[in-house]
Structure 1
Amino acid sequence: MPPPTSTDPWLAARRFGVVIDAGSSGSRLQIYSWKDPNIALIDGGDSVRHTLPKVEKGVKVGEDWITKVEPGLSSFADNPEGVAGYLEPLIQHARSRIPPSLEPETPLFLLATAGMRLLSPIQQARVLNAACQYLRSASNFRIEGESKDGPCGLSVQIITGEEEGLFGWIAVNYLMDGFTGRRSEKTTYGFLDMGGASTQIAFEPADSKLQNNDETLVDVRLRLLGGEEVKHRVFVTTWLGYGTNQARERYVTETIRLAEEARTADGVDADVIPDPCLPKDLVLLETSPRLDESFSHSSAPHKLVGTGSFTQCLQKTAPLLNKDAPCLAAPCLFNGVHVPPINFASSHFIGVSEYWYSSEHVFGLGGPYDFVQYERAAMEFCRRDWDGIVEQHELSKQSGLLGGDGEVLQDGQVVKTGVWGDRVELSRLQMQCFKAAWVVNILHEGIGIPRIVDPGGNSSTRGEQVAQQAEVKGLGRPMFQSLDSVEGIAISWTLGKMVLEASKEVKPLSSHTKPLVDPAQDIPSTSQNPPIKPIRPPFFDLDVIEEKLSQHLPPALTRQSLGFSPIAFFFYIVVFLLLSCMICRVRKSFRVTFRRMRRSPFKRDLDISYSMEEGSLPPGAPRHSSSWTIASLFRSLRRLMSSSLVPSRPRLTPLITTTPRPHLRHAHSLPTPSSPARATPTQYHNAYPTFGTSTSSQYHSRSSSPTPTVLGFDDDGSTTSMLPSSISSLSAGAPSVARSRNSSQMSLATLVPRSLSRASSMSQIPTDTLGEE
């Protein structure tokens, strides 16, 4: 049917939201709608101020708000190009039900569950990227931009089992009016969900002290139409491998293992194994790849023959709960998983999915749960002959019965049982005995819900005596009920997601109020052990980048045409060039550092020798020379790192300055001052006016004019003094007037200003100026 027109009063101030539940067996699109929160508050007034926005079906009449495609999205793990064609009928269906003018403000979510969780991170990234690209190009629905959460932000993502449980908890309590601004008048319902691979629990602990201190709880914040925010601290966890299918696989593995052990010990034929969890005389061929290779027949098919004993099935499946597993954070329910204490006197639990299917579709006992009724129905079904069950199933299909609860009503009375409609397949009937036992064990042995047994042993129980709320909402017992829908609205985690989105549109009471986000986004980043760890595929992947860019490349440059990935080739070329540039950049620094490592022991020995010549060692100087030390290596490495990270300074040209020529003196005729470094050239000249006739006159004739001194910069930036050649020649003439070898040696203090570095100065002065005759 076409989308509603603008003249339709139902469409006035209506908002829409679309969710694609990408499960393991198929993807289901659901369209929801709600009235604009501001308009709803104006129309309803105080009567709706303390309620959440009313989320309804996305169509005015009919069931066109749901459509489904098969198989699951995870089947495109190795063929992401097929995702677009897979999603096309879903998007076209949504566009045909939502007015085009409302598409830009309609949020669209593709949230994948169990099937996508089993893929590798790279496969997850490819599928999500392909889905994101198609959703952006095929519609104008509101989709988040690229972020750390994914190519389409939180609009296209894989949710965890805990997130699935929290959304389901919101849906249940929304339908049951569990949310209100007056917390003293209401209590929230716990949520139980069981699929084929896992089972979840989500509930709000009744202990207020526990709510304030337990870090395993998650904040769920919603906003009522009046702007008031309600916050609930909810515990949620999931048990992987404890869904019905995975539990059945573990049960078969254990059964075959015990049979193989019996074969080895007693020589018993283990090819035929009695199974109390199958209807009587049903034969199934089962193999178990999980068994150890020591059992020679483990990989061969084994015949499991049903004995139809529900009581024995309960006993044999109970150990699968693994209640003896170590509990690291007490208290624990089963498999060592921590769960806060549950007060069943005040807690109400609602079960969906397998809890509903196992109760309603075969036994007709959906709704209020009564253990006596349920156990009686299961025992009767299990001990039925399998051939009779198959015959009855065929008759039901031929007569066109549309039931499914196994009961035939006539004038309001049940006249026959064991009659099933088309939606109950033979595979369901084969596993019904096992699934019924597994549900009972999870509820009572696992979660701990008390068994309520009629002490009088009457043939009827109190299952039909329900509270007034049960008559209105379809609920009964305060401890546990199985449900599929409430007032025509299916209980689904997708509904909880849409309730949260509608709540986000409510205007808060204060502009400083923290925005509403999904519960998983509300967990503090400082949490050491967060209760929910979102699934985020890798952000960087060459194949994903190639898929994005290949759309803009000519056909001749694609992978199919070239035989290799041009994007990957270009990427590796860029990486090679960058590495080459980095190596060239640090080449000089590495060479200089290597030279310093070789030269530093020689320079250090020179410093020590000249210090010893003046009668003292510098503080901390070693008493012996060493050619190499660990400290010098680390100093060189630090210089290398700093020079490679910090831009090098340009080499400066030599700077010529003028300084007065220092006076020369005869070394042996000088009195030894207490501090030679403080003596000035003028003092020495006044004390010894005649150094030599020719030399002295030449010196005095030139001392009136300044003598240029050249200052340069070493490789490491230190200043180096280069004395003019006149001083060197003057120094070379000193031995001619010397009377002895000792008197011919001139002190370095009189030749070079003390402010200059000794090591740098000596590297520039020829060695023959040291006074050798």
Structure 2
Amino acid sequence: MPPPTVVDSWLASRRFGIVIDAGSSGSRLQIYSWKDARVVRQEKGKQVYGQLPTVEKGVREGEEWVTKVEPGLSSFAENPEGVSAYLAPLLDHARSQVPPSLQSETPLFLLATAGMRLLTPTQQANVLRETCTFLKFHSNFRIDDPSPAGPCGSSVRIITGEEEGLYGWIAVNYLMDGFASTSSQPTTYGFLDMGGASTQIAFEPRTEDRRNSKNLIDVRLRLLGGKEVHHQVFVTTWLGYGTNQARERYVGRAINEYEGHRATLHSHSTVKEHIIPDPCLPKGLTLIQSPVQPTHSSEHSKSPHSLIGTGSFEQCLQRTSPLLNKDAPCEDAPCLFNGVHVPPIDFSVSHFIGISEYWYSSEHIFGLGGAYDVVQYERAASEFCGQDWESIMEEHERSRRQGKWGSDVEIPRLQMQCFKAAWIVNVLHRGIGLPRIVDPGGNATTDGEKVAQQADHKGLGRPAFQSMESVGDIAISWTLGKMVLEASKEVPPLSANASPIRDPLDDAPNADSPIKPIRPPFLDFDAIEDRISHRLPSSLTRHSLGFSPIGFMFYILVCSLFAAAVYKLRHRIRSSVRRCVRKRDRQYIAEGYAMEEGQLLNGGGLPSPQRPSSPASRILAKMLDTAGWPASQKLQSRPTPLSLSSLDNGLRSGRSSPHRASPIRRSFSYPTTKSQNGFVSSEVIPDGGGGTVAASSYIPVSPRLQDGSIVSNGSVASLTSRSRNSSRLDLSSLMPRQQISRTN
């Protein structure tokens, strides 16, 4: 069927959303749609301001809004390349239902559940990567960019059991108008879901219980009027407490008890047949089963055993009750079963709706789906379990022709119906604590359709629990809750400063949140080792060494690559280190030289009052006094050094000093007069005999030192040598002479 066109009135202002539920047995694609919130407000006015957007099927009529492929996505763990051909029919169906002009605005989600959770992190990452690549490059639907959530952000990922329960809670309260309650103390419905592997519960505790409760999830939704509603929801899951895994634990327990009893009483028996009576099977039904994880040490406990049904529902209730593990330690009271903390539940206020196995076990054979009455439920279960298996099969054949049980009831359902019914009753009443409604005067005549009226007559209001599959023509599914959240995100807020609506996973406040996102690691050494462990000697396995040899080899490889990179760059590293060290040494020596010459590090001379009086300076002062030189011409400050820029400018201009420095140098300086070129200054001083001597002073930044030697390449050694020699006094040079030759 081609997608609707723009001239279709149903399509006007319609938005679409697609969810692929990638379960363990298959992947189901569901297309949802809703009207744009702005258009709805214009058409219906303020009367819809207190409601959520109306999420409907993605087609105007028919059942083409949903399609399914088998097997599950997890079956491609060893062959990720096959994901493309597997998902192609689902993608083609979505393209055929959503108009091409709206596909770029239509969000597409592939959210994997139980089957993908059982894979190794490496297998999960490979399958998700192939899935993301196919969906992103073979469709025009809106898919998130890469993020810490996965290669396609939140569009393609694995969700936890808690997320399933939370989305299911949103779906139930959306369909039952739990969010649109106008009472002063609005109450929402609780949500129960049970599959083959796990069971979940999600509900909103009472206000007084929320203050003392931990791990509550903040759910924010935006109504059509722009107002936000906030609910704090508790959600948890029990892994291993679904019907299938509970049956596996039951069989293992029965075989272990049988083998323990057999070892005590029949230790010398050679009987090879192992027959165990099973009250949870219809009378006369024989099944050959083996324990999944035997705990008994004997070889008999690992072999198949024959379980023969005795058809006693009451005994089945007693035998399955210990599987709840009610005696497990409770670290954070209160706990329901298996030591899992759950806030107190007030069933007079909180009313629960159960889906999946709660519905199948009630409706498919007993016909008691809907409002729940434990007395009638147990009566129907007792009648069914007490029937002979042959009569059950005959009735099954008649129902296929007459439609009593319908085509949904298959032989595996008939075999496990007695056990599943007992498990449902134990979980509801002994596990969760749902109170039993006992009315000795009315239980004999009640039926499923009158339970709600009787509960109201007894002052109980709505039934505390009811099983449901759909409301109207919309099935109750966690995928519906996901789409309600997406439709709520598109409602314009009342204020521009309002924070956007996000998934509860993204709004989880802290690390104690029960919703732990599943993030496949970059490298999984255990998975790599499992692939090659059969080729390794037993002495090199993880169990023998105590650590992962693959991980150890990886770290050795990283260290080797780092060492090779360092060796290849050793010359550059060595020269860089030398430059740093020499720069530090030059600075240190320059500081020492400046301190000996009485100069500041910035090139300026120290003020004379602060110049330290050394023994050499005192001796020199006495000699000047003896020579009769004026006190004003005694030791003066050294000339202010020129900057390198001025020196460079002078050299570039080609100028040279008009005065040559006399080869007779003194180890002290006189007051100087700056020449025109800024290089040499001179003073006329008395020579001690009535004459005068022209003395030239040397500028410290000149390429020549005061002794006339040239500083080669700015050698630090020459500066050090000069600094040390300059402190020595040449007494003979200080004596005044009668004549000084100027020709030299």
User: TM > 0.5 between the two?
Assistant: yes
Counterparts in 2 of 1:649 and 1:40: CA distance versus 1, 3 Å: farther
Matched, 1:518 2:503: yes
Q: Which residue of 1 aligns with 2:634?
A: none
Whether the aligned pair in 1 keeps the contact of 2:279 and 2:310 (CA below 8 Å) is yes
Q: Give the corresponding residue for 1:504.
A: 489
Say whether 1:425 aligns with 2:410.
yes
Map 1:229-240; keep pairs closer than 5 Å. Answer: 229-240=228-239
Aligned to 1:21: 21
By how many angstroms is 1:392 displaced? Answer: 1.9
Counterparts of 1:58 and 1:469 in 2: how far apart (Å)? Answer: 39
Partner of 1:292: 295
Written as runs of structure 1 = structure 2, the 5 A alignment for 1:472-551 is: 477-524=462-509, 527-538=510-521
Give the distance between the partners of 2:250 and 2:624, measured in 1 at CA.
Answer: 114
1:460 positional shift: 1.2
* Matches of 1:120 and 1:521, distance apart in 2: 24
Give the letter aligned to residue 496 of structure 1: G
Task: Structure 2: give runs of 5+ residues left out of the alignment.
Answer: 526-555, 599-609, 627-662, 670-696, 699-705, 733-744
User: 1:25-54 deviations in whole A, cap 9, x for unaligned?
Assistant: 000000101111111111111221100000
| Counterpart in the other structure of 1:104 | 104
Partner amino acid for 2:621? N
**Which residue matches 2:250?**
251
Aligned-residue offset at 1:685: 2.6
Partners of 2:42 and 2:416 in 1: CA distance: 53
User: CA contact under 8 A between 1:171 and 1:496: conserved in structure 2?
Assistant: yes
Partner of 2:375: 372
Conserved? CA contact 2:122–2:523, under 8 Å: no
**Partners of 1:233 and 1:196 in 2: CA distance:** 28
Distance apart, 1:111 and its partner CA = 0.4
8 Å Cα contact 2:34/2:53 also seen in 1: yes
Give the 3 Å change call, closer, same or farther, for CA 579–145 of structure 1 in structure 2.
farther
Aligned residue runs from structure 1 range 440-459, under 5 A: 440-456=425-441, 458-459=443-444
Equivalent residue pairs, number: 612
2:224 aligns to what?
Answer: 225
- Residue 33 of structure 2 aligns with which residue? 33
Counterpart of 2:187? Answer: 187
Measured in 1, the distance between the counterparts of 2:569 and 2:305 equals: 70
> What is the CA–CA distance in structure 2 between the aligned matches of 1:244 and 1:301, rounded to whole Å?
21
Give runs of aligned pairs for residues 201-600 of structure 1, distance below 5 A: 201-206=201-206, 208-267=207-266, 271-292=274-295, 294-397=297-400, 399=401, 401-404=402-405, 421-456=406-441, 458-461=443-446, 463-465=448-450, 467=452, 477-524=462-509, 527-538=510-521, 580-585=564-569
Distance 2:449 2:723 in 1: 119
CA change 1:99–1:372 in 2 (3 A) is same
Aligned to 1:682: 617
CA contact (8 A) 2:281 2:416 kept: yes
Verify the 8 A CA contact 2:256 2:296 in the aligned structure 1.
no
Q: Distance in 2 between matches of 1:723 and 1:177?
A: 95
**Aligned Cα RMSD in Å?**
3.9
Instruction: Look up the equivalent residue of 1:12 and give its one-letter code.
Output: A
Corresponding letter in the other structure for 1:265: T
Where does residue 91 of structure 2 map in the other structure?
A: 91
Task: Give the distance between the partners of 1:510 and 1:449, measured in 2 at CA.
Answer: 43
- Structure 1 partner of 2:178: 178
Give the letter aligned to residue 500 of structure 2. Answer: P
SS in 2 for 1:520: coil
1:198 aligned onto 2:198: yes
Q: CA deviation at 1:7?
A: 1.3
Q: Distance in 2 between matches of 1:450 and 1:378?
A: 19
Give me the whole-angstrom Cα distance separating, in 2, the residues matched to 1:175 and 1:488.
11
Q: Following the alignment from structure 2 to structure 1, what is the Cα–Cα distance between the partners of residues 254 and 581?
A: 71
Structure 2 CA distance, aligned partners of 1:661 and 1:429?
105
Q: Which residue of 2 aligns with 1:613?
A: none
Distance 1:648 1:59 in 2: 79
Return closer, same or farther for 1:61/1:733 CA change in 2, 3 Å cut-off.
Answer: same
Alignment partners' CA distance in 2, 1:656 and 1:274:
99
1:416 alignment counterpart: none
Contact 2:667 2:729 in 1 (8 A): no
Over 3 Å counting, the alpha-carbon distance change for 1:428 and 1:659 in structure 2 is closer
Measured after TM superposition, the shift of residue 478 of structure 1 is 2.1
1:98 to partner: Cα distance? 1.0
Q: Secondary structure at the match of 2:300?
A: coil
Superposition deviation, residue 710 in structure 1: 9.7
Amino acid at match of 1:679: S
TM-score normalised by the chain length of structure 2? 0.75
- Cα–Cα, structure 1 residues 649 and 427, in superposed 2: closer, same or farther, change >3 Å? farther
**Aligned sequence identity (%):** 59
Match of 2:684 in 1: none
How much has 1:647 moved relative to structure 2? 12
User: For each residue in 1:597-633, what CA deviation from the matched residue of structure 2 results, as whole angstroms up to 9, or x when unmatched?
Assistant: xxxxxxxxxxxxxxxxxxxxxxxxxxxxxxxxxxxxx
**Corresponding residue for 1:722?**
720
- Aligned residue for 1:298, secondary structure, equals helix
- The residue correspondences of 1:137-148 to structure 2 (distance < 5 A) are 137-148=137-148
> Alpha-carbon deviation of 1:515?
0.4
Q: How much has 1:724 moved relative to structure 2?
A: 3.6
Give the AA of the match of 2:309: G
1:157-200 deviation per Cα after TM superposition (whole angstroms, max 9, x unaligned): 10000000000000000000011274526321000000000000
**Structure 2 matches for 1:692-711, cutoff 5 A?**
703=668, 707=706
SS at match of 1:349: strand
Shift of 1:461: 2.2
Cα deviation code 1:377-415 (max 9, x no counterpart) = 000000111111112212333x2x4443xxxxxxxxxxx
CA deviation after TM superposition for structure 1 residue 683, in Å = 1.2
Q: Distance in 1 between matches of 2:37 and 2:597?
A: 93
CA gap of 1:516–1:721, structure 2 versus 1, over 3 A, is same
Q: CA deviation at 1:580?
A: 3.6
Taking the aligned partners of 2:92 and 2:196, their CA distance within structure 1 comes to 30
Q: 1:219 to 1:127 in 2, by over 3 A?
A: same
Q: Match for 1:233: what amino acid?
A: Q
1:147: Cα distance to partner? 1.1
* Residues 652-671 of structure 1 aligned to structure 2 (within 5 Å): none
CA distance in 2, matches of 1:246, 1:660: 86
Mapping of residues 89-168 of structure 1, within 5 Å? 89-168=89-168
Q: Is the 8 A contact 2:451 2:463 kept in 1?
A: no
Q: Structure 1: which 5+ runs fail to align?
A: 405-420, 543-571, 593-639, 664-674, 692-697, 735-773
CA distance in 1, matches of 2:714, 2:214: 61
Secondary structure, aligned partner of 2:495: coil
Give me the whole-angstrom Cα distance separating, in 2, the residues matched to 1:249 and 1:64: 37
- Between the aligned partners of 2:6 and 2:723, the Cα distance in structure 1 is 100
**Could you tell me which amino acid in structure 2 is paired with residue 516 of structure 1?**
I
Greater shift in the superposed pair: 238-247 or 456-465: 456-465
> Within 2, Cα distance between the matches of 1:212 and 1:460?
43
The CA distance in 1 between the partners of 2:157 and 2:582, in whole Å, is 47
Shift, 1:576, TM fit? 7.2
Distance 1:266 1:467, change over 3 A: closer
